[in-house]
Structure 1
Amino acid sequence: MRILHRGAALAAATTVLLGLGAPLAPAAPTTSPAADRPVWGACPAGTPDARQQCAELTVPLDYARPDGPSVSLAVSRISTARPELRRGVLVLIPGGPGGSGLNGPSSAAGRLPRSVLDRYDLIGFDPRGVGRSTPLDCGFDHADLAHSHTLPWPAPDGGIDANLATARRMATACAADGGELVRSISTRNEARDVDRIRQALGERRISLWGVSYGTYAGAVYATLFADRTDRVLLDSNDDPDPTRVERGWLANYATGVADRFPDFAAWASSPAAGEHRLGDTPEQVRAAYLAAAERLDGAPLPWPGANPEQLDGNALRSAMLESLYADAKFPRLAELVQAARGRRPLPAPDGAPEAAVRNGTSVSLATLCNDVSWPREPGSYASAVAADRAAHPLTAGMPVNVTPCAFWPWKPAEPPVRIDSRGPSNVLLVQNLRDPATPYSGALKLRAAFGDRARMVAVDSGGHDAYLANGNACGDALVTEFLATGRRPARDALCPKAG
């Protein structure tokens, strides 16, 4: 996962709904049952790839009441240019939760090799609540959309009083403004929605490519609807522990950052870093980062245009986590550390349209809180933060801190899905060894849950997202072979570091 930019937990502040503009105003659910076929036409806001078409489907708000109110799903496609080679459809399941996937076909068409593009229609969608689908807006305050709030970083002294207040406020806002839609958003319902997309397309079986949180949604689909799957590719995999799910994903940031930060430290102490070099050894880089965060805890720097408009210690910690997602982001983290040391001015702040951030955060929160129960006792979070800060200073207790789910007014309507080995042997997992958001140790648990249904391609690489992203030629070739031909490695494979 990356909660939300994955995911990355409630990290909605960096999600951009590409090509969509601001989300539509919240719409009241319609009342017609959803058995429609897509009527393809131009996408409402244009697309990066002119071949992409869009349509709208209706699905039940509550699958227990299939003839009751419904919500809309925005779907998209790029058809194969070689219909004589077409195998079926490849449904692209976006990360998040809360990430947009409507322009997924445009993105994938620019990266996938011809051997894959010739065999599939690429299908994207905005999950329920997101973007061009019936959108959710919990009405969060501007301040609560800050990076250092959507991820529950404790106070510099480890205190969580401010986190408790933020969590209560955000849970109350969703309960007041989310309507019926907020209670319907869950991973089970996303899997059901994907199956409605399958039905609408007239396909007996579908292939899937899920990334980050999309690996869990894809695994849930492959469990609930195993006989309707063709080839299932899961990239950057979440731990499916049914007793914790998203609670475990948030906690796993401590492990993921510990696995990945040494890559940044090695780069920032090497000649390759050039003007971004922070020390002569990885140990010096780690010390420089921790010292910069501590300095900013006591003396934040003004940062006009950011939210909040200062670089404090927790803003640096949030930027550190985001920067570990790809090597290309390392220079920005180095620039922030250098600015904290007074050695360069601050770079321009990153930012996404606030309406998109609010929408993504709303859906992320609803999914986290509706999928699984969270502890309610504030004292349990305070003690967990104290222990985690000592064990994992890079993440400073954030991964086990309180979220709005502790004050969510509803219990999960259904239990989490237990991923198991029943079903066809048609699943391939691809995973970087040093992923800050979905660590390898958690991915191994998904591999174990699938049993002989799955094989795993592990890649000796760092970053979040593996196939055609932060992986390498060896891993990419094995995944392409699977998508194009269905052939998987006879046993789990490990691809060595490139170069």
Structure 2
Amino acid sequence: MTAVRGAVLACVACVAGVAAAGIAAVPAAAITPGVDWGECAPELNAPRGTGCARLAVPLDYADPSGRSITLTLAAAGSLDAPDVLVVNPGGPGESGIGTPKQVWSSMPEEIKDKYLVVSFDPRGVGASGAVDCGDTASLLPSPLPPNTPADEEQETRRTDIARNIADACAEHSGDRLRHITTENAARDLDRIRAALGKEKLDYLGYSYGSKLGATYATLFPDATGRMVLDGVVDPTVSTYESGFQQNGALQRRAEQFFDWAADRDERYHLGTTGEGVSGTWEDIRGKLAAEPAEGKVGSAELDEMLASAMYTDVSWPTLADAVARYLEGDPGALVRATEQLSIDPVNGAQLAYNCVDDEWPADWRTWHEDTADSAREAPLFAWLNTWYSAPCAFWGAEPGGPVDIGDGDVPPVLLVQAQHDPATPVEGAHRMRDTLPGSRLVLSGGGNHGQFLFDGNGCVDTAVAAYLRTGDLPEADIDCPAPPPPE
């Protein structure tokens, strides 16, 4: 959701290779309501059974008769279904083209016939006028320097990279960047609702999608229908602050991973206690910093794989096995693991939303001091998270300021959260519940990011399905046990 990575739910947002679409030249005044579903263009790589459509919306809602941007929508299920569920898989910056088929296919039978499932590439993403930052790969050395700088020279090298990324995005995307905001994406959601012919928006948002949904409910309370926010963003802190909030949650989740590996020492041989595995991990980081595996995977890449694997414990065996094989003399195992667990270090769309939604410190000394403080609690993730967001210190578009979530008579919603979620810590769900009075919280005892439909938790799925079927919130919050760990 915030700084570490753009992908929130690998099981939901798994479609790659989406073609970019430019800003439409037609004036927004020419926009007409309605959605004309048809076959998806081959370059979208949409799953079989997915239909696609396009919808023009104003680029600038302050100038609705000016330029427009064309959104690409996707749908799965029956067009004869009585209701529509719009889904956002998170990010910000994640494509929604593959989301409808995965969500609809995973739905319990009691709601599968009720909903046509619709998602979309939000503005600035994929096939909806993607933010272009040029060839950022040329700006990034491979392997990257260690995340934790050993001296001022190393830190300056990384800030220079961040500045160059911000400059490249500004050069290639220009004035579009100031229009890539959550507020505008929420207004796009309302255009989608109207085009679908619905008086109210039924919505499911994962991770960042919870922020988008809560923003929509604040702006359009009378048009808000059944709303499920899963993996809940804290509405009381800025994106800059949430990154530091996230660091500690990631560190605690990593300690759970180390304990898990220790319980399986006969297989992985990384240590018989969580502390032992943690010590082994630090040794490996040091070795990779001095001599990257096959010249490709250094300590920074190992940190990134660890952060990625914390989002879902399904990834834990893959990472533990790769590290074990590396210790046995197979450095290629780490290289192969990066194909599954690494992500693009520069997500232009995610940067665009994060950098413009909120104010960011302009003085790098503030970043340095805050990160050094955070590293005392979260040494594995503090600097990694900071470098991911660092281009926001140099961003070319002025922040627009976020919507004050909960301002006004906002209807209650259903919140879904894991107790040990590393990306959206549980405190955020409690604060969202307080911000949207009357909301209910379904809390799993697990730690995977994204619960409904994709964590195999029958307690969670039953509660959410009942709400989507009836529209009735639970009478009280619901506590659900965690599913068993992966073997």
Query: TM (normalized to structure 2)?
Result: 0.90
Cα 1:25–1:428 change in 2 (3 A) is: closer
3-state SS of the aligned residue for 2:284? helix
Looking at structure 1, the residues matched to 168 and 483 of structure 2 have their Cα atoms a distance apart, in angstroms, of 47
Match of 1:36 among 27, 33, 36: 33
Looking at structure 1, the residues matched to 307 and 177 of structure 2 have their Cα atoms a distance apart, in angstroms, of 28
1:372 to partner: Cα distance: 0.8
Match of 2:194 among 172, 190, 199: 199
* Count of aligned pairs: 477
Match of 1:403 among 369, 390, 411: 390
Report the counterpart of residue 209 of structure 1 in structure 2. 204
The one-letter code sitting in structure 2 at the alignment partner of 1:410 is A
Looking at structure 1, the residues matched to 347 and 200 of structure 2 have their Cα atoms a distance apart, in angstroms, of 32
Report the counterpart of residue 325 of structure 1 in structure 2. 311
Looking at structure 2, the residues matched to 404 and 472 of structure 1 have their Cα atoms a distance apart, in angstroms, of 38
3-state SS of the aligned residue for 2:38? coil
3-state SS of the aligned residue for 1:468? coil
1:398 to partner: Cα distance: 3.2
Looking at structure 1, the residues matched to 375 and 50 of structure 2 have their Cα atoms a distance apart, in angstroms, of 47
- Answer yes or no: is 1:266 the counterpart of 2:266: no
Report the counterpart of residue 226 of structure 2 in structure 1. 231
Report the counterpart of residue 23 of structure 1 in structure 2. 19
Report the counterpart of residue 246 of structure 1 in structure 2. 239
Report the counterpart of residue 298 of structure 2 in structure 1. 312
1:240 to partner: Cα distance: 1.4
* Percentage of matched positions with identical amino acids: 33
Cα 1:131–1:400 change in 2 (3 A) is: closer
**Bigger mean CA offset, 480-489 vs 208-217:** 480-489
3-state SS of the aligned residue for 1:487? coil
Alpha carbons 1:156, 1:297 under 8 Å: kept: no
Report the counterpart of residue 76 of structure 1 in structure 2. 74
Alpha carbons 1:148, 1:318 under 8 Å: kept: no
Cα 1:315–1:50 change in 2 (3 A) is: closer
Provide structure 1 residue ranges, at least 5 long, that are not aligned to the other structure. 304-309
Looking at structure 2, the residues matched to 389 and 138 of structure 1 have their Cα atoms a distance apart, in angstroms, of 30
Report the counterpart of residue 306 of structure 1 in structure 2. none
**Bigger mean CA offset, 219-228 vs 276-285:** 276-285
Looking at structure 2, the residues matched to 126 and 145 of structure 1 have their Cα atoms a distance apart, in angstroms, of 27
3-state SS of the aligned residue for 2:347? helix
Looking at structure 2, the residues matched to 235 and 17 of structure 1 have their Cα atoms a distance apart, in angstroms, of 14
Counting only pairs closer than 5 Å after superposition, residues 36-115 of structure 1 correspond to structure 2 as 36-45=33-42, 49-80=47-78, 83=81, 86=82, 88-115=83-110
Report the counterpart of residue 302 of structure 1 in structure 2. 294
Looking at structure 2, the residues matched to 6 and 357 of structure 1 have their Cα atoms a distance apart, in angstroms, of 8
Match of 1:255 among 243, 248, 267: 248
Query: TM (normalized to structure 1)?
Result: 0.87
Looking at structure 2, the residues matched to 19 and 327 of structure 1 have their Cα atoms a distance apart, in angstroms, of 21
- Answer yes or no: is 1:478 the counterpart of 2:463: yes
Superimposed CA distance per residue, residues 268-319 of structure 1 (whole angstroms, 9 cap, x where no aligned partner):
0113x6533421111211221122112222222225xxxxxx2111111111
Match of 1:155 among 149, 153, 164: 149
Looking at structure 1, the residues matched to 301 and 369 of structure 2 have their Cα atoms a distance apart, in angstroms, of 23
Looking at structure 2, the residues matched to 48 and 302 of structure 1 have their Cα atoms a distance apart, in angstroms, of 35
Cα 1:16–1:49 change in 2 (3 A) is: closer
Looking at structure 1, the residues matched to 126 and 313 of structure 2 have their Cα atoms a distance apart, in angstroms, of 29
